[in-house]
Structure 1
Amino acid sequence: MNPLPYIIVNDTSLYYQVQGQGVPIMFIHPPLLTSENFDYQAAQLSNRFQVITFDIRGHGSSDRSFEPVTYPLIVQDMLKLMDGLNIKQAYVCGYSTGGGVALHALLTAPERFLGGILVSGMSEASDLYLRLRMTTAIALSRSKLKSLLRLAITWGNADNLKTFRTLYRSSQPGTSDNWYEYYRYSLDYSCTDQLQQIQAPVLLVYGKKDKSFHRYAWKLQQHLQNSKLIWIPEAKHQIPTKNAIMLNDCIESWITDKETRAEKIDTTIYE
């Protein structure tokens, strides 16, 4: 059996997977979940791209973090992982609160990212319903009911029993204190007033039935200079697992279009 792939970042061991070849895409999961949430993306998109997934500190198979888990820390780890893999630039795809991490990466290290993909993402948590859900998750992660939180999150993101078992199993080694820190930072984070600074292209993917997140989709499209908004019919929030084929097709088409245009520009310059 091959040993699991790890990279040491500031004395912390991070678990990661690299599948496929081509233009790199790095995926960012939300609190409590792990890189296993992107299994469908890795399976399909690795036919065309280099898919990079990793467990954030204190999640899944990565070591617990003795530093608070914040977006700047996660982005720092992303960049160290890219350096370790000799990847100069990549697309970054964040799901749910992972979308906030992706935006922070585009803002703080724009030279390292070719573009962003936000799946059910947001630049802030400003509506009462979302804040209540996140506050509940914060409280449960510090209580004796944290196993209930783990059950609810993994079951809610599962499209079938097999996926549920995978998500539930992979989340088991996680550290609830680090879940708490990630949720806590996400609740207070806002980069809406900085979105116009992002020049890289951004793909926004949302579910038509995820009505409470429509406000975030419109806000992002309004403030980002170069964005494309796609609505997936009949989809709710958990798109990576429950609407995987449509999401993967959207990502593949969008990146292929961006890379084709870039090649045409390069050809025009050097001819």
Structure 2
Amino acid sequence: MPILDVNGVSLYYNVKGNGTSIVFIHPPLLTGENFRYQMDELSHDFNVIAFDLRGHGRSQYSINPITYPLIVEDIKHLLDHLEIEKAYLCGYSTGASIALEFMLTYSDRALGSILVSGMSEVSDFYLRKRISLAVKLANPRTFSFLAQAITWGNSDTKETFRKLYNEAVKGDARNINQYYQYSLKYNCTNQLENIDLPILMVYGKKDKSFHRYANLLKEKLPDSDLKFIDKEKHQIPTKAAGELNHLIIDFVNLHNEKNV
């Protein structure tokens, strides 16, 4: 399996297809396996890349605590390793926050971004309580229970659940706990106006608690397009894969044409 060594930490990644590059970024506990439908379908048109963050899935435990700037550096190392000058960043949930941080740090390496059920801050009571509960459960004693809950919630079939769960439980609860904790304090809202890159934002119409984040991003980002998927909640990459994939294809092709 493809492994990249980043300063002594082994990162697992997967690459499929050719053409414009898209890097997928997963939230805590989940892995690159969560983008299996994107990897399968979008690889017909693009060069798609998924990887397991430090301490997640098949990637090695990180002695350095998990922070978004650290993950951004890992993504840059991965692009360098694959000899990719620029790529789109597709982040799901807290992975979208990392995509924003990447564009703020390395705008010259980004073509734009797809933010799926994303946010630039965690500021509402409901989401903070949910993440705080995950922090408490992200320990060796209750890790398996948390993995079952998160992967089941992101599964459209029993087969998907089995694959997501089997990858998730390979992770290290310490790094996963750190990822959850960092998401509670991260806030780049006041910097969003500095991101002058095309951004597609995708949310589920039934994911009502996240609509405030969708509207906030739409208001602050200079070049963004906001789409809602009918009858869907938060777990779009697996439960609304077809609709998401079509939106990504249209978005990337549109901006490729503009850049010709």
TM-score normalised by the chain length of structure 2: 0.99
Give the partner amino acid of 1:32: L
Task: Verify: 1:21 aligned to 2:18, yes or no.
Answer: yes
**What residue in structure 2 maps to residue 39 of structure 1?**
36
**Partner of 1:228: helix, strand, or coil?**
strand
The answer for unaligned runs of 5 or more in structure 2 is: none
**What residue in structure 2 maps to residue 194 of structure 1?**
191
The answer for unaligned runs of 5 or more in structure 1 is: 264-271
CA distance in 1, matches of 2:258, 2:29: 37
Moved more, 16-25 or 142-151: 142-151
Question: How far does residue 146 in structure 1 lie from its aligned partner after superposition?
Answer: 1.8
Question: How far does residue 254 in structure 1 lie from its aligned partner after superposition?
Answer: 0.6
Question: How far does residue 142 in structure 1 lie from its aligned partner after superposition?
Answer: 2.7
Task: Verify: 1:108 aligned to 2:109, yes or no.
Answer: no
User: Which of 137, 140, 153 is 2:137 aligned to?
Assistant: 140
User: Which of 175, 180, 185 is 1:178 aligned to?
Assistant: 175
Question: How far does residue 143 in structure 1 lie from its aligned partner after superposition?
Answer: 5.9
CA distance in 1, matches of 2:164, 2:170: 11
**What residue in structure 1 maps to residue 48 of structure 2?**
51
Question: How far does residue 145 in structure 1 lie from its aligned partner after superposition?
Answer: 1.7
Task: Verify: 1:152 aligned to 2:149, yes or no.
Answer: yes
Instruction: After the TM superposition, list the runs of 4 or more consecutive aligned residues in structure 1 that deviate by more than 6 angstroms.
Output: none
Task: Verify: 1:261 aligned to 2:241, yes or no.
Answer: no
Give the partner amino acid of 2:79: M
- 1:28-63: CA deviation from partner (whole Å, max 9, x where unpaired): 000000000000000000000000000000000000
CA distance in 1, matches of 2:142, 2:110: 38
- 1:149-192: CA deviation from partner (whole Å, max 9, x where unpaired): 11100000000100000000011110000000000000110000
**What residue in structure 1 maps to residue 162 of structure 2?**
165
8 Å contact from structure 2 (residues 19, 46) kept in 1: yes
- Greater Rg by CA: 1
Give the partner amino acid of 1:67: N
Question: How far does residue 249 in structure 1 lie from its aligned partner after superposition?
Answer: 0.1
CA distance in 2, matches of 1:187, 1:161: 31
CA RMSD of aligned residues (A): 0.6
Task: Verify: 1:75 aligned to 2:68, yes or no.
Answer: no
Task: Verify: 1:208 aligned to 2:205, yes or no.
Answer: yes
CA distance in 2, matches of 1:17, 1:142: 27
Question: How far does residue 210 in structure 1 lie from its aligned partner after superposition?
Answer: 0.2
Task: Verify: 1:60 aligned to 2:42, yes or no.
Answer: no
Give the partner amino acid of 1:228: D
Question: How far does residue 133 in structure 1 lie from its aligned partner after superposition?
Answer: 0.1
**Partner of 1:101: helix, strand, or coil?**
helix
**What residue in structure 2 maps to residue 10 of structure 1?**
7
Q: Could you tell me the percent identity over the aligned residues?
A: 53
CA distance in 1, matches of 2:185, 2:107: 23
CA distance in 1, matches of 2:26, 2:80: 20
**What residue in structure 1 maps to residue 91 of structure 2?**
94
User: Which of 198, 223, 233 is 2:230 aligned to?
Assistant: 233
TM-score normalised by the chain length of structure 1: 0.95
Question: How far does residue 261 in structure 1 lie from its aligned partner after superposition?
Answer: 1.1
CA distance in 2, matches of 1:96, 1:106: 16
Give the partner amino acid of 2:188: C
